[in-house]
Structure 1
């Protein structure tokens, strides 16, 4: 008898689900090139540290919107975005993030600050929706979960007539985002890893 595949469904992430979202972002992004350079250590320690940082971000960023994909009962993917005018977290959130980063030691905190500043320099001046963080649990990559999240996201952009923007340090992600209308507008070396800055014009 053939086993049925778990059902995928998209839903807003709020409340207690944000804890699971932070853990997923930690696991899913631990092998990102900039994360490897910023956090150092092994895969498990990077996942733990990034999950702590994401927990701080998600708890203290009221303007951040988050959607998740459940695969059966388990959270399988996350896409967060900031609406126009809220591209960067407020000062109180940045202070909390800095406090968390400092618990990792001065070297790691310095690298995290450098990373954040390099990315912030490329933020567009025009009104835009800033996509990120986005992640799919690593053992579920390649199963259409990221595509489902992005399809929903760009449909929302088209419906509201707002430009999209994102950063990625994963080379394979560039082509993925291009399939949803994003184009590379700049590149930079961040902590020794290439980063691509991408915009999606208003359709």
Structure 2
């Protein structure tokens, strides 16, 4: 298997892999409640976020099989660059609107809830990580996490993520993350768990 930085040409395939990985994710199901529309909407949203934010920070990585098939990815933001700039938000707005359609307000509520609860101490932020069914169980998630966490340790930098599934908490704990709190999406939305990792 291989882990490497994402390029602009990788974005469509990466976005489809992430959309497949998040098809049963509680937050994504809240934002995209229609099963038939969810895959396309999520792929468009991941593409917009990668293209207009994560790619510029140098923290977007993908996992691929020996034949070059993209089966997963991790979207990291470097210290003090986790929040999208106003300029990039404006540039990405048409693509985000196309992705969310009538659920734009719900997407804004999710973003606001996550931003309001975000730690202020400088850290590497793992916004998204996932593998498609073709990569699941193959160690790709572990490889993606270790790729960036080894850099965090070398830099002496903490790392932070939000787990949208309670069942995934033990997995992240194996990499040194600890639960520090909960985030509840308003208006009956799901709960996420804040997880922090000090460098080793």
Q: Could you state the TM-score of these two structures normalised by the residue count of structure 1?
A: 0.88
Q: Supply the distance in 1 between the matched residues of 2:146 and 2:57 (Cα, whole angstroms).
A: 21
SS at match of 1:140: coil
Name whichever of 187-196 and 90-99 sits farther off. Answer: 90-99
Deviation of 1:139 after TM superposition, in Å, equals: 4.1
**Larger Rg computed on CA atoms:** 1
**Structure 2: segments with no counterpart, 5+ residues:** none
Corresponding position of 1:60? 52
Give yes or no for contact 2:179–2:194 (8 Å, CA) kept in 1: yes
Matches for 1:12-161 after TM superposition, within 5 Å: 12-42=5-35, 44-61=36-53, 62-73=56-67, 74-103=69-98, 104-106=100-102, 108-161=103-156
What is the TM-score with the length of structure 2 in the denominator? 0.90
Contact kept in structure 2, 1:53 and 1:97, CA below 8 Å: no
Unaligned runs of at least 5 residues, structure 1: 1-7
Question: Counterparts of 2:141 and 2:182 in 1: how far apart (Å)?
Answer: 23
Q: Is the 8 A contact 1:56 1:96 kept in 2?
A: no
Of 176-185 and 67-76, the range deviating more from structure 2: 67-76
Pairwise CA distance, 1:195: 0.5
Count the aligned residue pairs.
194
RMSD: 1.6
1:138, 1:186 → 2: CA distance?
30
